[in-house]
């Protein structure tokens, strides 16, 4: 039996050890943070206001068009506030010296008709013409002899609607940086909209401007083709619903097998030469059903229960709605150039590595992504710059405090047993100098990064890496990491990345992945990496796949789109003409 005095005496070294480990790590971090924060100094006195040159706004407030541009409001439109595109619209009218560009003395009817045609064709890109006031614009264009102030109002309405459409087509209706999930993609470079519009209006080739703003990525173009086909098919009749009412196994006979065959043909998973009226659940159908089950993360056994049957009752309109979300996400992706590229589709738990845009046989492997909802892998676009064979793991402070420190509290030998060491990190002069202690795990079998990590510097501090445990790759749902992406075939991915780099072949890569020391390899040519969230995705075989919304991001995107499209202010008729004069003062929406 241990007496009270002995118990206290025995526990003292353990608590001393815990306090030392915690204080060294945390105090060292605080020291680094304090080194980054300069001591506040009194601000210098502000200069006399009269000595500052007055900034001249190039938009004239006494001009009818200028007054509208300054207000960033247009009550004739369903969404009166056009502040999101106001800069683009202002640039267009700056080049015309704030004079009308549509309703001119030499009014070009073809340009006006082309504008309406562009907006009417918005559904081809999963966009809604109503969001660009196409019916209102038709009324404005057909109006008779408006006065100069009304002409200005009508002219700006046409321009705002076209600019909104082209901006949405190129950048997306929703700014991905404004949604409530992690995204690290920079906006696409701006195009010279004012110059392009002036050029095409002068040559009366306005419809050609659309192709310059439409996304060029293969994923977007594939989705658009499938969308067109579904729009032509229309909704499937409710009488053709596939509802067998019982579990179907290979070889079973059921009258609804005819409907199943129709669905699989519509999904391009079944040869059209096969029988159309057979009611037997034959081998061809079983093979196709297994593909669908595999795509959906279900057990691919070919047995049709309630969950599998529901996959074949999705109407065309429901599929179109899913494709619309996928096309919105695809607009966020930068236009790619030919060459190698790596794509991770987060909800698919898969990675594809392409040698070129039209690579018919890309490298494909399973991955583990960040756990939902706490450690979501972000959507991002970066360039892979280097690899590290046999890497150290620099343990993030949060992981150290929440997961490692509690174990070290009960076992003072825990850090040593896990090959974890405390090392001093020197801050750069740009960060104020100084140093702090951080925890890292040495390379080896216990290191969660495995034998290689693939690095593309990013603000989210995530990367691709190997893992010592491969059992998780057998699970259908694989959101298990802290945010980084674990790859199931790291050696093959290293071969892909280093494929055209001298001195690196299959054998040298294998040796580097078992060497006793860390090796840093800089890539001679950076490889683009896309972490993508596509619950609706077209694979390299042009097959449309649907995946579970593991992070709930579909619903978040729907809410963001609905919020944008909700009408703010709109007059009931163009007869309620917007009159803008010198004294007009309309405050923009916050």
The active-site residue, picked from 74, 167, 200, 484, is: 484
Which long-range contacts (C-beta less than 8 Å, at least 24 apart) are formed by 135-143? 136/76, 136/77, 136/78, 136/570, 136/574, 137/161, 139/573, 139/574, 140/76, 140/574, 141/112, 141/116, 143/574
- Residue of 583, 568, 537, 584 whose CA lies nearest to 76: 568
- Backbone dihedral angles phi then psi of residue 469, each to the nearest 5 degrees: -110, 120
548: DSSP letter: -
Q: Report the alpha-carbon distance of residue 227 to residue 221 in Å, rounded.
A: 10
- Residue of 551, 515, 513, 520 whose CA lies nearest to 533: 551
> Which ranges of 334-470 would DSSP assign to H, the alpha helix?
397-399, 405-410, 414-417
For tokens 């030919």, name the residue: 338
Quick one: how far is CA 14 from the chain centroid?
48
The active-site residue, picked from 465, 520, 540, 565, is: 465
Q: Report the alpha-carbon distance of residue 517 to residue 392 in Å, rounded.
A: 10
Is 470 one of the catalytic residues? no
Is 465 one of the catalytic residues? yes
Which long-range contacts (C-beta less than 8 Å, at least 24 apart) are formed by 428-431? 431/32, 431/35, 431/36
Q: Report the alpha-carbon distance of residue 53 to residue 126 in Å, rounded.
A: 48
User: How far, CA to CA in Å, does 9 sit from each of 15, 21, 491?
Assistant: 11, 20, 52
Q: Report the alpha-carbon distance of residue 163 to residue 38 in Å, rounded.
A: 45
> Is the bond into 348 cis (omega within 30 degrees of 0)?
no
Q: What does the radius of gyration of the chain's CA atoms come to, in whole angstroms?
A: 30
CB contact at 8 A, 368 and 467: yes
Instruction: Give me the active site residues, please.
Output: 465, 484
């Amino acid at each position: 039996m241990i007496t009270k005095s002995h118990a206290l005496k025995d526990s003292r070294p353990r608590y001393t050890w815990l306090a030392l480990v915690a204080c060294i790590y945390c105090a060292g971090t605080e020291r680094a943070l304090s080194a980054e924060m300069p001591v506040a100094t009194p601000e210098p006195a502000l200069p006399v206001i009269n000595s500052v040159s007055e900034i001249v706004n190039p938009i004239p407030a006494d001009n009818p068009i200028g007054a509208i541009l300054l207000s960033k409001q247009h009550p004739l439109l369903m969404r009166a506030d056009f502040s999101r595109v106001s800069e683009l619209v202002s640039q267009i009218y700056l080049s015309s010296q704030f004079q009308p560009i549509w309703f001119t003395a030499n009014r070009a009817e073809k340009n006006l008709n082309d504008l309406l045609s562009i907006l009417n064709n918005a559904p081809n890109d999963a966009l809604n013409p109503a969001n660009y006031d196409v019916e209102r614009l038709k009324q404005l264009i057909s109006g008779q002899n408006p006065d100069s102030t009304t002409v200005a109002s009508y002219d700006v309405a046409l321009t705002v609607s076209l600019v909104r459409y082209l901006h949405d087509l190129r950048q997306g209706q929703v700014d991905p940086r404004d949604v409530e999930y992690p995204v690290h993609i920079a906006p696409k470079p701006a195009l010279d909209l004012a110059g392009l519009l002036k050029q095409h209006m002068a040559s009366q080739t306005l419809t050609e401007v659309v192709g310059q703003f439409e996304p060029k990525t293969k994923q977007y173009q594939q989705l658009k083709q499938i969308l067109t086909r579904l729009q032509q098919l229309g909704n499937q009749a409710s009488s053709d619903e596939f509802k067998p009412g019982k579990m179907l196994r290979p070889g079973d006979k059921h009258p609804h097998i005819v409907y199943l065959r129709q669905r699989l043909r519509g999904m391009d998973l079944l040869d059209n030469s096969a029988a159309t009226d057979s009611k037997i659940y034959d081998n061809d159908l079983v093979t196709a059903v297994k593909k669908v089950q595999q795509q959906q993360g279900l057990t691919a056994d070919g047995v049709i229960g309630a969950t599998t049957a529901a996959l074949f009752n999705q109407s065309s309109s429901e599929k179109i709605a899913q494709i619309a979300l996928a096309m919105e996400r695809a607009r966020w992706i930068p236009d790619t150039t030919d060459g190698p590229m790596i794509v991770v589709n987060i909800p698919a738990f898969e990675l594809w590595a392409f040698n070129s845009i039209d690579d018919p046989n890309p490298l494909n492997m399973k991955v583990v992504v960040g756990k939902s909802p706490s450690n979501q892998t972000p959507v991002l676009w970066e360039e892979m710059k280097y690899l590290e064979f046999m890497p150290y793991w620099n343990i993030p402070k949060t992981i150290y405090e929440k997961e490692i420190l509690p174990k070290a509290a009960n076992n003072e030998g825990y850090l040593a047993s896990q090959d974890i060491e405390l090392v001093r990190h020197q801050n750069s002069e740009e960060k104020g100098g100084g140093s702090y202690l951080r925890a890292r795990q040495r390379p080896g079998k216990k290191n969660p990064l495995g034998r290689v990590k693939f690095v593309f510097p990013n603000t989210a501090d995530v990367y691709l890496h190997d893992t010592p445990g491969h059992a998780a790759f057998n699970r259908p749902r694989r959101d298990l990491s802290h945010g980084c992406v674990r790859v199931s075939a790291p050696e093959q991915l290293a071969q892909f990345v280093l494929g055209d780099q001298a001195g690196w072949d299959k054998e040298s890569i294998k040796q580097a992945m078992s060497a006793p020391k860390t090796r840093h390899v800089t890539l001679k040519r950076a490889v683009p990496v896309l972490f993508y969230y596509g619950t609706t995705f077209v694979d390299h075989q042009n097959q449309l796949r649907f995946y579970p919304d593991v992070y709930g991001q579909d619903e978040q995107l729907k809410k963001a789109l609905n919020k944008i499209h909700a009408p703010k202010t709109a007059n009931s008729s163009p007869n309620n003409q917007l009159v803008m004069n010198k004294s007009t003062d309309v405050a923009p929406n916050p």
